A and B are shown apart, each in its own frame.
Chain A
Amino acid sequence: MAYYAKSKGQRVVDWSVHYGLLACFLFFALFPLFWLFKVAVTPTNLLYSEGIRMWPSETTWANFAQVMTDTDFPQFFINSAIVSGATALISTLIAAAAGYSFSRFQYRGKAMIIVLMLITQMFPLVMLIAPIFRILTPLGLTDSLLGLVVVYTAFNVPFATFLMQSFFDGIPKDLEEAAMIDGNTRFGALVKIIFPLTLPGIAATLGFVFTAAWSELLFALMLVSSPDAVTFPVGLLTFISKFSVDFGQMMAAGFLALIPAAIFFFLIQRYLVQGLTAGAVKG
């Protein structure tokens, strides 16, 4: 913005305020995560004997090693990866198709479908817990990864559809019309011309859904209980009630839970701002 009309002194003040405020935000955002990591690498005996220090006098990876070898966490990690990966792929595919139809066609019932999707964003999902549990039980889908994938996919499709629609809206219609005049079917044009252009949008949607599925706790807590199907969030909670004093192992497990979501987030955040700029949030 307009800095050119200012004296040098004013600019220095401006920039120090700017960076000062950003430093405050950075501290607030990162300190809790730094502390998580610090406790995870502190040897258990030092955690209590040294009092509260910014960094322990020695560090260890023992907490991580114990989580990986003495607990079911490797299994939980795999379960979560399968559920989140499958949910992300299926949701994005379904949302891309629906988003494409919203973006390119005018048809009877479209407004109603969009309203339906908006309403599902508004009602308390917690009210679906009991009915879904009752419906999935006779189908043998409780205590299974498949059941979680089905539920998470349904929860994520509405927002993913709006996101995909805004990416499609950003691609000129002429492109596929030209391809269709050249003899392609609409589907052919979609696959050959539009799909490659939407890749950033697809990446953003995949990442968004993956992190959402990776974080889900309440439905997982209700729908699964055997170690073969327990996801990371549920595992972390049960682990804490079992070893309620071992902060080091808790923090180590927590830090492991953070890694996949953080990686996906770093990959997608640029596209997310871009996709939202294209129109998803402009009511």
Chain B
Amino acid sequence: MTAATDLGAHPANRQGVTSRRFLSRLEPYFYASPAIVLLVTVMMVPLVVGLNYTVRDIRILNPFSGGYVGFAHFEAVWHDQNFHNALFNTFWWTVTSLFFQFFLGLMLALLLNRTFPGRRIIQSLVFLPWAVPAFLSGLNWAWMFNPVISPLPHWLFTFGILSEPTNILSDPDLAMWGPIVANIWFGIPFFAITLLAALQSIPGEIYEAASIDGASRRQQFVSITLPFLAPTIAITLMLRTIWIANFADLIIVMTNGGPADSTQIVSSYIFTQAFRRLDFGYASAIAAVLLVLLLAYAVSIIFIRRSLLRET
């Protein structure tokens, strides 16, 4: 019996009881309905419309477009060399960004999960990049890689990382590192915040018991901290993979996919197709392919996690 149905038990008259009971049964839907209405009208309906575009010739500024084209867009995507290139770049961009964001974020969370003088202020300052709007992170890092106004290329040259202090964003072989570094800078705090929250929910007595039993810090980390963090790590890694793969802002602001498409990822390519070429049909077809790939990834991760949980 839930609290909601208990409510109807008070009134004396029977008619009142049923109508109140009916109303209290509706109560949870009443609270949730604005959210549902909004999600359906602003996200689900456009999603369906977008899926419909994938089989139509929708080009803005072309009054004769709109006809049914079947799977022609998908066939074009299949043969589109730029799309293949973007898919490869998406993989590279996502894996590298995620790897560094995660390990540096975990390290930061472990550093902050202690009491020490100055902790509050240091925590606010190291988390600050997360507050910087993504477009501004992108612009800021684009400026940082510019040797005319920033010392960064000169430092990289001094340390022998660059053969001369040039702007890596204009070098097709290195340009992807620009958005990746910006993304790492921007994303470390997110991992640090969520992992710190998880670390703080581990009861301290467990560590005390372990250190009385003579466990070293490394042993404590491996046998207490990591298992406790595992569920958080799994869910944040999954959500962040999808989020980073979709995240076009930094790339659009910093390089616009260039030079020579060397930084074009799938979601920035979709944006280019929709926006610059105004070909909504083709853009929607690429988006649908990306959607299927990401869903397949999410489902397989959930499946793997389930079967691992079942084994243990």
Contact check, A25 vs B139: say whether CB atoms are below 8 A apart.
no
Q: How many B residues are at the interface, by size bracket? A: 35 or more
Contact check, B252 vs A218: say whether CB atoms are below 8 A apart.
yes
Which residues of the partner chain B approach A218 to less than 8 Å between Cβ atoms?
248-249, 252, 271
Contact check, B32 vs A102: say whether CB atoms are below 8 A apart.
yes
Contact check, A35 vs B53: say whether CB atoms are below 8 A apart.
no
| Cβ-based interface call for B287 (8 A) | yes
| Cβ-based interface call for A13 (8 A) | no
When the two chains form the complex, which single residue of B31, B231, B294 contacts A101, counting CB atoms closer than 8 Å?
B31
Number of interface residues of A (CB under 8 A): 97
Contact check, B28 vs A262: say whether CB atoms are below 8 A apart.
no
Q: Report the Cα distance A224→B246, complex, angstroms.
A: 22
| Cβ-based interface call for B69 (8 A) | no
Q: Report the Cα distance A36→B46, complex, angstroms.
A: 39
As a 0/1 sequence over residues 46 to 87 of chain A, the CB contacts with chain B under 8 angstroms (1 = contact) are: 011000101000000000000000000000000000000000
Which residues of the partner chain A approach B42 to less than 8 Å between Cβ atoms?
132, 150-151, 153-155
Q: Report the Cα distance A247→B143, complex, angstroms.
A: 8
Contact check, A95 vs B35: say whether CB atoms are below 8 A apart.
yes
Contacts known (A28-B185, A33-B140, A186-B7); A258 close to B133, Cβ less than 8 A: yes
As a 0/1 sequence over residues 275 to 310 of chain B, the CB contacts with chain A under 8 angstroms (1 = contact) are: 100001001100110110011001000000000000
CB distance from B271 to the nearest CB of A (A): 6
User: Which residues of A (105-133) have their CB < 8 Å from a CB of B?
Assistant: 105-107, 109-110, 113, 116-117, 120-132
Q: Report the Cα distance A274→B246, complex, angstroms.
A: 28
User: Which residues of B (189-204) have their CB < 8 Å from a CB of A?
Assistant: 189, 193-194, 196-198, 200-201
CB distance from A145 to the nearest CB of B (A): 16
Q: Report the Cα distance A22→B119, complex, angstroms.
A: 10
Which residues of the partner chain A approach B161 to less than 8 Å between Cβ atoms?
none
Q: Which 5 A-B pairs have the closest CB atoms?
A: A127-B287, A265-B131, A215-B133, A154-B42, A283-B235
Given contacts A101-B30, A113-B35, A129-B274, 11 further A-B contacts (CB under 8 A): A21-B111, A33-B132, A33-B140, A113-B36, A122-B242, A123-B294, A123-B295, A125-B246, A127-B270, A134-B49, A217-B134
